[in-house]
């Protein structure tokens, strides 16, 4: 939220994070390591996996 106690650099940090994500997605194709059969999805406020992390494999989008 907005307010006097909000972090002054929060919007800049979010912009930096989006820039990093765009750079990754421009250069790599992300593929899941787990198959859909091995994932256990938990419906909550957002759809999430049972495990804390979701492993992905990075494949170069434009191999040399």
Q: Where are the domains of the chain?
A: 10-60
32 in Cβ contact with 41 (< 8 Å): no
Residues 6+ positions from 62 with CB-CB distance below 8 Å:
27
Residue 59, pLDDT above cutoff 70? yes
Extended strands (E) in 14-62: 28-32, 41-43, 47-49, 56-60
With a cut of 90, say whether residue 2 has pLDDT above it.
no
| Residue 16 parent element (H or E) | helix 10-27
Residue 57 — pLDDT band, cuts 50, 70, 90?
Answer: very high
Q: Which of 30, 36, 62, 31 is nearest to 49 (CA)?
A: 36
């Amino acid at each position: 939220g907005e307010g006097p106690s909000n972090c002054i650099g929060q919007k800049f940090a979010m912009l930096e994070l989006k820039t990093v994500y765009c750079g990754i997605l421009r250069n790599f194709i992300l593929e899941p390591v787990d198959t859909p059969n091995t994932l256990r999805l938990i419906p909550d406020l957002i759809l999430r996996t049972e495990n804390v992390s979701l492993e992905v494999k990075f494949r170069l989008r434009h191999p040399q």
